[in-house]
Structure 1
């Protein structure tokens, strides 16, 4: 893929920020769609740019947590490390709730944001069933806290899924409103078009959404009832291989990448490309015209089970103490940067 304007040797002095909620154990879909691409992106750009990876624990508690929040949190960071994240002086990992400026800036941005623009957020409408009175307020205010998460650090790029793009635009609108009233306090994140262009450099397979193994019309989800429909990152690798061998495909009898007519086969090709870290087009070309679906399943099953075996072994070797040390260093950085930005906003609002 041609990466115009995003050559890793040319881009410098930018801040890339992302966060992944830790409500539960991670599916292979979450891992391949978010965590692994972000790890590779961080390693690619961290020499000359700041990489902020935060654990959005305040966002996480707006809904039920499956398991123990703290255990999930530590496990999530171990997953980054096991996936190959190179922690250096430009890579900062921190917990949202350990940086109080996030909450305070959110309140101040609430004084600038309007009910109309926040209520138009698609995620709010979906999660609140179009404004049901029983919806907790945090679901409504989620995008404003997200704006604070971004604006505190002058983040330029925020790798997120498509369902979050509207929140990035809201962040820009709120930040621009503050800047017009008080001067250039915030650096605004790039517009959606540039965010998309940048996100596409994160993985060699392009924009992806890993599908349900038994119903590839849907994305892979932990909440799916059929165990064979999903792969969890802590699944037994041998069991995972069996799940892939039983994946639903089609009756066309020819391997091709076609998400409309051959979603199951296309899903397997995506998984192979992402885990192998090779361009999707290369994987497509390798299998183009082949007719034996079983051979493709066998190859993907071998690739995934081998990767998971090695990944799980790496996770087991990472101690909690190592994670807490990384967090302590990241939170020192985050509090220093965030507090300086918060003070500028407090002064603008005449609170200081």
Structure 2
């Protein structure tokens, strides 16, 4: 079977350094050795109230922005597939089949629903509750073998594996009878990413960098220009101690650890190497070096994103072409699933 990667990013606006280092930069690396599908998961975006995702115009704008970020960061839409989820009906169609395979107890254990729904769970949408099943469909619709995930999505990937395994077990005779051997769906493996996969706030090193933080100085947005990037890094919270020479010296120093992790990820160096270079130095000097590195890496992405988002027809053309290619793979999967389950279909 082809080694295939699937991953998605929600079009929620204000993509930031955490999205880039935690996901997109790894998407770019995976292109070299895998067939990749990178999806703007707009069906997932509407699982929360309209006031949160912003309505139709905002959703379209954010979808184009994520697409622009993919391309500007180095994902090649000719060699790989970039598309938005809602253009491929198989995502929703397979979700219903998987809803009949998954078990209520499995979903009740999903911690992210509890966190997102908060105390008012009775008022949460069914979509938010069923989000992990849709995520399983996203992955398995393309029979993906590998999924780059952060810590907050590991539980959902485990659910995807459970659903795939139960489908294979429940329909084992039909799967074999339809010429698919012992199992139809692969059990997707996580791709564990490198340093700074969890980028923290520039104002509080104990909190994850987030677009919802009221302070724009808590994050570096992918649309920030060079001057803004420099200003945010210089104003980032630190402590009065010099940088340590060894990684254990970052314990109990969350802001220092965060900035060193960002430098490591942007430079492609491990943290010990960064500390060997800057250990004993004051933060002012280290921040100057981090400014130079961040501006060199990020400002070209911001410029290219602006160029692309200024041409919405071009960006939408990329999504339409990508969806056509994704749909061809998805149709093969759905036809096989219908035969395995016993649905009559046009041939």
Matches within 5 A, 1:95-110: 95-110=84-99
1:83, distance to aligned residue in structure 2 (A): 1.1
> Partner residue of 1:6?
none
Q: Name which of 233, 236, 240 aligns with 2:229.
A: 240
Per-residue CA deviation, residues 101-129 of structure 1 (Å, 9 max, x unaligned), is 11011011111111111111111121223
Measure the CA separation in 2 of the matches of 1:92 and 1:331: 8
The question of 1:347 aligning with 2:339 is answered yes
> Partner residue of 1:316?
306
Measure the CA separation in 1 of the matches of 2:140 and 2:243: 49
Maintained 8 Å contact 2:223/2:306: no
Maintained 8 Å contact 2:42/2:86: yes
Per-residue CA deviation, residues 181-234 of structure 1 (Å, 9 max, x unaligned), is 2122212212xxxx2xx323xx4xx35311111111111112222232222222
Measure the CA separation in 1 of the matches of 2:323 and 2:30: 21
Unmatched 5+ stretches in structure 2: 173-182
Maintained 8 Å contact 1:255/1:293: no
Bigger helix fraction: 2
Per-residue CA deviation, residues 34-54 of structure 1 (Å, 9 max, x unaligned), is 112222222x32xxx310101
Q: Name which of 253, 261, 264 aligns with 1:262.
A: 253
Unmatched 5+ stretches in structure 1: 1-11
Measure the CA separation in 2 of the matches of 1:274 and 1:132: 37
> Partner residue of 1:273?
264
Matches within 5 A, 1:71-86: 71-86=61-76
1:276, distance to aligned residue in structure 2 (A): 2.7
3-state SS of the aligned residue for 2:29? helix
Normalised TM-score (structure 1): 0.86
Q: C-alpha root-mean-square deviation of aligned residues, in Å?
A: 2.0
Matches within 5 A, 1:168-179: 168-179=157-168
Measure the CA separation in 2 of the matches of 1:76 and 1:59: 14
> Partner residue of 2:289?
299
Maintained 8 Å contact 1:125/1:131: no
3-state SS of the aligned residue for 2:53? coil
Q: Name which of 53, 61, 69 aligns with 1:65.
A: 53
Q: How many residues end up aligned between the 2 structures?
A: 325
Shift of the 315–128 alpha-carbon distance from structure 1 to 2, 3 Å rule, reads closer
3-state SS of the aligned residue for 1:70? helix
1:131, distance to aligned residue in structure 2 (A): 7.1
1:58, distance to aligned residue in structure 2 (A): 0.1
> Partner residue of 2:137?
148
> Partner residue of 1:199?
192
> Partner residue of 1:287?
278
Maintained 8 Å contact 1:15/1:155: yes
Normalised TM-score (structure 2): 0.87
Maintained 8 Å contact 1:272/1:283: yes
Measure the CA separation in 2 of the matches of 1:238 and 1:104: 47
The question of 1:35 aligning with 2:27 is answered no
Maintained 8 Å contact 1:211/1:220: yes
3-state SS of the aligned residue for 1:68? helix
1:73, distance to aligned residue in structure 2 (A): 0.9
> Partner residue of 1:52?
37
Q: Name which of 82, 87, 93 aligns with 2:77.
A: 87
